[in-house]
């Protein structure tokens, strides 16, 4: 499957990401870490040399854009991560677990971050990995001065308060024990702590070599992220190994009679933590969105480096009928290619057929003029068109399903059958029963297990053909082959295959064209978009910035809350034309110079070709054999160089146009969203045709774009960066914080400290970490007050201007309408299209446009920006500050209070520190949800409400009523329709009464009735309702962590009599030995791997 020209000669063994060591390496690690398998031709990145984690700058290269730079809020504002950095992290500390991304080509690094290199004979003065380094210039060598290590965020909370000598001694003893594997290393570190300054030699050549080794271990074509290194996979394996080994040992001890429920609880926590894969956030598939024929399937085939990867259905009307999801094969699956078809349930299939029948009957009634609606409620063109679309869709779908029976062979025969039944006044249920025997005959052979049909194959072509028969229409592209198809009942096709990019976690979803005339096909697309994590909009590069379909796609993505997860792909750049003379005038001097240089080179080569050809002809005429042969060889070389120069010139023109496309795309999201919250839209111009030529490499036709210029490699790196989904940060948290915290908790359970004043001290602890509710009550009050000071205030300030503008608009737009027409407008939520004049009325849209107007500093979109500032400054920042203060107070009470002073608090103090970190990690996800809700409320107020699709079941427009402004207008329309005093008012009197109600709702100063105030209050209610649920979940996180602190206090601090009665020395010694073994792995090999990963990402963040 992996045919990429980037990865020739690389043999796939157990996936490209499997880590490896030799048998000797495994024994050298003391047997405590699992074996690894090694990729062919990839060097082992470990060595006996020690490295220092400080950057050494090398030659400068142009940095590629960082894909993680966009934030949900305006970039100039601080996210809650930045607030925490300001609170807890010194300015000179570098974040070791920053999630970075690089989409650039493989270039030499600008910075190398590795540890000090020391030969086996040299003495290691220090191995402190977190030291802050300053360069000291000395003749002939590079030396660095090591200062005291910088405090981590957790240390800023906890370690500054540890003042007891006994605690400090116990900490040093514990730290030395956790190092475990090397007693000399612990001695050397202790001596370093007592030394004011230490020097270490750094060899620049060795730094470069180390960096090359790490890069060579990275699979070809992948972004420079640590999660794709073999070391990262090894660290994931070590997490599983450490957890499983301790759990197995604890269970074995338990079988021997040892009873300790608290150990069982911690073992459950380890079991939940053992699989790092389960801890990573779900990124979701990358869904391709675009109109028919824009190259979605071809793009997926290019991204997977397999021309045959994309499953095009091959129907007569469209390429793709059902969404196809491409993901990795299961590890235990023997077949190379597995396709799973997800069907509707049997009951849901029956319901779907009944809906088809109802749509056909409605369509036939409308066409025959037998619509039941009254004259005042006459359907406009859009509603009539929607009924037509649904009816024709139903006929097409049923024809594909039922064509196995002659009387239902095509759409015409089914339409005629239903028309005859309609004349006989047959019900839709009776017609449905006529279809059931044929339907059952079609579905009976399907081998479905829980509504999933599975197909397996080792050869893709045969499987492709089988899947096409099941997922396309009954007629092929040539208009023949009326074999029945059940595609209308298939919701999704999942394709599982062996592919290195899919194995790395990338999931791609190919959707049907969004502009399809088949309503059922469009619904398939909408379902895939809703389930997607990232949406890749694919369109042609020509005039894309004026493409209305593209703007609608962007609006759809924003409404679904995916504004920060949109990628724009512009296809067919190989069809771009060269710049003409007029267009060149708009180029910068550097760009124009690039084209001039390429053209000059081509002209020089063409002159040399012509000159050499003439010399060759002269030599032949003069029968100078040696000169002839020499000129013939020179001519071949020059002609080859000429072709390359032509390709280079063509590529230069295309690359400059691509840069222009990227600049044009940058502000498209902000133009739709109308706020500073919107990120810059990333555009990736690509050529599938040129990339496929690189893949085929048959020599018949050479691509004129080089591999990187096709755009596919950079697009793939972007998608792989997205699929990484913060894995590096999560694994860093597990390895360096979560596991040490859990094992510290077990150690506290086993290391019982006698305390005479335990009950009094326990009451103090219980009071300080009682269930936390006040912090969330205060957060809610601050959040709602911020909403009132920004959003509600902006609405109040703008109401006079809005009221005046609305009155003028109503007089212009509605005063000339006939009374019956006005009633029709109100019944259709403000939208009406006149059949004869073709004039479109959209009252809701007009009023919403007024709502967005206002003084520059008082616009509603500006008010939301101010609200974002308040949110970050008051809500997020205050939460972390209060949590820090609470835990600080607890630790100081334990170490300095009258009941705990002089006690050995070191282990328990470190456990508190780990508790804070665990809360912090969980609350990051919570704050992301709260931020997403605020964004959705903003969109529900500021985006234009859509009311194109009428919801027949509910009698209201579903999409519109999700929009706050649209919902408020709908209530106003409902009230105005009843203003005729139950039919007593007629004609112009009824019209005036209805207009008066609408105008009053828009202009009244009464805050309870004014529509604009109602809109603001509805947004407030949504936010308040969500926050109550959010606060409940968040309080469970905080209180659960506090409860563990209380539990570990109770188990660690016991009175002397209880300790004696619970003493089980043999079992506890075994458990302590197991803890020491786990800590030796965590503080040894696991820490080494995570340091390497963090160093790699820091080094390549600007590479």
DSSP string across 405-429: SGGGSSHHHHHHHHHHHHHTT--HH
Burial 874-902 (b: 16+ CB within 10 A, else e): bbbbebbeebbebbbebbebbbeeebbee
Cβ neighbours around 237 below 10 Å, total: 19
Token pair, residue 884, equals: 């820090």
Dihedral over alpha carbons 262, 263, 264, 267 (to 10 degrees): 130
pLDDT at 649: 94
User: Does residue 520 contact residue 391 with C-beta atoms inside 8 Å?
Assistant: no
Do the beta carbons of residue 226 and residue 1096 sit within 8 Å?
yes
Tell me what pLDDT residue 98 has: 37
Can you give the pLDDT at residue 708? 94
Task: List, as one string, the DSSP characters of 940-1007.
Answer: HHHSPP---S-BTTTTB-HHHHHSHHHHHHHHHHHHHHTTTTTTTS-HHHHHHHHHHHHHHHHH---T
Distance from C-alpha of 1055 to C-alpha of 1063, rounded to nearest angstrom: 12
Res 897: pLDDT: 59
Whole-angstrom distance, CA of residue 199 vs CA of residue 125: 8
Q: Which pLDDT belongs to residue 877?
A: 82
pLDDT of residue 243: 94
Residue 775 confidence (pLDDT): 82
Whether 270 and 494 have beta carbons less than 8 Å apart is answered as no
pTM: 0.71
What DSSP state is assigned to residue 736? I
- Identify the segments of the chain with pLDDT beneath 50: 1-201, 372-377, 477, 947-961
pLDDT of residue 1063: 60
State how far the Cα of 380 lies from the Cα of 296, in Å rounded to an integer: 35
**Domain range summary for the chain, segments of one domain joined by +:** 5-250+1083-1100, 286-344+451-532, 348-442, 579-713, 774-895+916-1051
How far apart are alpha carbons 599 and 589 in whole angstroms? 15
Q: At 133, phi and psi to the nearest 5?
A: -110, 140
């Amino acid at each position: 499957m992996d045919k990429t020209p980037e990865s020739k000669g690389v043999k796939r063994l157990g996936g490209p990401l499997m880590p490896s060591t030799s048998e000797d390496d495994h024994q050298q690690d003391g047997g405590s870490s699992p074996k690894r398998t090694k990729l062919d031709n990839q060097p082992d990145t470990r060595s006996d040399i020690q490295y220092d984690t400080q950057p050494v700058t090398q030659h400068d290269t142009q940095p590629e854009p960082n894909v993680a730079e966009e934030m949900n809020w305006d970039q100039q504002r601080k996210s809650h991560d930045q607030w925490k950095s300001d609170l807890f992290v010194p300015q000179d500390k570098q974040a070791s677990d920053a999630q970075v991304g690089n989409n650039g080509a493989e270039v030499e690094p600008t910075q190398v971050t590795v540890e000090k290199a020391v030969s086996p004979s040299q003495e290691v003065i220090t191995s402190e990995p977190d030291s802050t380094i300053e360069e000291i210039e000395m003749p002939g060598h590079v030396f660095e001065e090591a200062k005291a290590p910088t405090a981590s965020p957790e240390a800023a909370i906890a370690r500054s308060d540890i003042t007891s000598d006994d605690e400090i001694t116990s900490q040093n003893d514990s730290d030395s024990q956790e190092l475990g594997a090397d007693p000399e290393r612990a001695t050397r570190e202790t001596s370093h702590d007592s030394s004011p300054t230490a020097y270490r030699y750094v060899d620049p050549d060795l730094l470069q070599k180390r960096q090359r080794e790490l890069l060579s271990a990275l699979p070809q074509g992948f972004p420079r992220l640590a999660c794709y290194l073999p070391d990262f996979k090894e660290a994931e394996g070590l997490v599983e190994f450490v957890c499983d080994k301790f759990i197995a040992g604890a269970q074995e001890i338990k079988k021997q009679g040892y009873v300790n429920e608290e150990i069982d609880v911690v073992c459950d926590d380890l079991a939940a933590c053992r699989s790092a894969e389960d801890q990573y956030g779900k990124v979701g598939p990358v869904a391709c969105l675009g109109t028919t024929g824009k190259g979605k399937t071809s793009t997926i085939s290019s991204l997977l480096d397999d021309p045959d990867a994309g499953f095009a259905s091959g129907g007569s009307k469209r390429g793709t009928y059902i969404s196809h999801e491409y993901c990795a094969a299961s590890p235990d699956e023997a077949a190379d290619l597995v396709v799973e078809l997800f069907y509707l349930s049997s009951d849901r299939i029956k319901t779907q057929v009944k809906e088809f029948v109802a749509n056909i009957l409605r369509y036939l009634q409308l066409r025959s003029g037998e619509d039941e609606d009254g004259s005042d409620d006459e359907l406009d063109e859009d509603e009539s068109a929607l009924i037509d679309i649904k009816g024709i869709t139903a006929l097409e779908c049923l024809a594909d399903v039922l064509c196995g029976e002659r009387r239902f062979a095509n759409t015409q025969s089914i339409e005629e059958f239903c028309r005859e039944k309609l004349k006989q006044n047959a019900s839709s249920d009776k017609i449905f029963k006529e279809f059931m025997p044929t339907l059952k005959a079609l579905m009976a052979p399907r081998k479905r297990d829980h509504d999933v049909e599975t197909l397996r194959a080792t050869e893709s072509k045969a499987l492709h053909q089988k899947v096409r028969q099941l997922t396309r229409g009954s007629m092929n592209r040539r208009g023949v082959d009326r074999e029945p198809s059940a595609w209308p009942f298939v919701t999704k096709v999942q394709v599982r295959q062996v592919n290195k990019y899919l194995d790395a976690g990338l999931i791609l979803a190919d959707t049907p064209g969004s502009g399809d005339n088949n309503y059922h096909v469009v619904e398939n697309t909408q379902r895939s978009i809703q389930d997607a994590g990232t949406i890749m909009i694919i369109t042609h590069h020509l005039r894309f910035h004026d493409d209305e379909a593209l703007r609608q796609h962007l609006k759809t993505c924003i409404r679904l809350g995916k504004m920060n997860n949109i990628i724009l792909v512009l296809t067919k750049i190989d069809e771009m034309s060269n710049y003409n003379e007029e267009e060149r005038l708009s180029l910068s001097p550097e760009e124009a110079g690039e084209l001039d240089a390429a053209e000059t080179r081509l002209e020089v080569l063409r002159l040399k070709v012509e000159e050499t050809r003439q010399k060759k002809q002269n030599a032949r005429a003069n029968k100078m054999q040696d000169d002839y042969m020499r000129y013939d060889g020179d001519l071949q070389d020059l002609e080859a160089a000429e072709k390359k120069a032509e390709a280079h010139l063509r590529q230069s023109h295309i690359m400059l146009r691509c840069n222009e496309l990227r600049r044009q795309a940058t502000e498209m999201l902000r133009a739709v969203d109308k706020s500073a919250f919107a990120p810059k839209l990333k555009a990736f111009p690509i050529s599938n045709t040129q990339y496929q030529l690189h893949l085929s490499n048959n020599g018949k036709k050479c691509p004129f774009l080089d591999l990187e210029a096709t755009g596919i490699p950079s697009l793939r790196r972007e998608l792989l960066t997205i699929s990484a989904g913060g894995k590096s940060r999560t694994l860093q948290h597990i390895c360096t914080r979560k596991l040490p915290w859990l094992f510290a908790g077990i150690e506290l359970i086993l290391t019982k400290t006698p305390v005479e004043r335990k009950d009094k001290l326990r009451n103090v602890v219980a009071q300080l970490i009682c269930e936390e509710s006040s912090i969330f009550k205060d957060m809610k009050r601050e959040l709602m007050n911020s909403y009132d000071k920004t959003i509600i205030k902006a609405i109040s300030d703008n109401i006079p201007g809005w009221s005046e503008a609305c009155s003028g608009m109503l007089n212009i737009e509605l005063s000339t309408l006939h009374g019956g027409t006005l009633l029709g407008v109100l019944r259709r939520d403000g939208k009406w299209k006149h059949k004869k004049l073709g004039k479109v009325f959209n009252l809701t849209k007009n009023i919403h446009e007024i709502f967005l107007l206002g003084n520059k500093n008082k616009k509603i979109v500006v008010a939301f920006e101010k609200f974002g500032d308040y949110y970050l400054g008051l809500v997020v920042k205050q939460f972390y500050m209060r949590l820090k203060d609470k835990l600080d107070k607890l630790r100081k009470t334990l170490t300095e209070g009258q009941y705990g002073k002089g006690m050995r608090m070191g282990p328990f103090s470190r456990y508190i520190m780990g508790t804070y970190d665990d809360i912090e990690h969980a609350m990051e996800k919570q704050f992301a949800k709260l931020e997403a809700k605020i964004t959705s409320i903003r969109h529900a107020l500021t985006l234009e409400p859509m009311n194109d699709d009428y919801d027949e079941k509910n009698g209201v427009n579903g999409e519109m009523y999700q929009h706050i402004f649209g919902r408020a207008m709908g209530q106003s329309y409902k009230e105005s329709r009843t203003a005729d005093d139950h039919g007593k008012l007629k004609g112009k009197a009824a019209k005036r009464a209805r207009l008066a109600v609408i105008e009053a709702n828009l202009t009244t100063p009464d805050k309870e009735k004014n529509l604009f105030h109602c809109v603001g209050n509805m947004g407030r209610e949504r936010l308040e309702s969500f926050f109550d649920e959010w606060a409940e979940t968040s309080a469970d996180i905080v209180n659960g962590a506090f409860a563990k602190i209380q539990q570990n206090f109770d188990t660690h601090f016991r009175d002397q009599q209880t300790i004696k009665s619970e003493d089980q020395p043999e079992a506890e010694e075994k458990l302590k030995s197991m803890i020491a073994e786990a800590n030796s792995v965590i503080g040894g090999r696991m820490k080494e791997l995570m340091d390497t990963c963090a160093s790699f990402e820091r080094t390549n963040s600007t590479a």
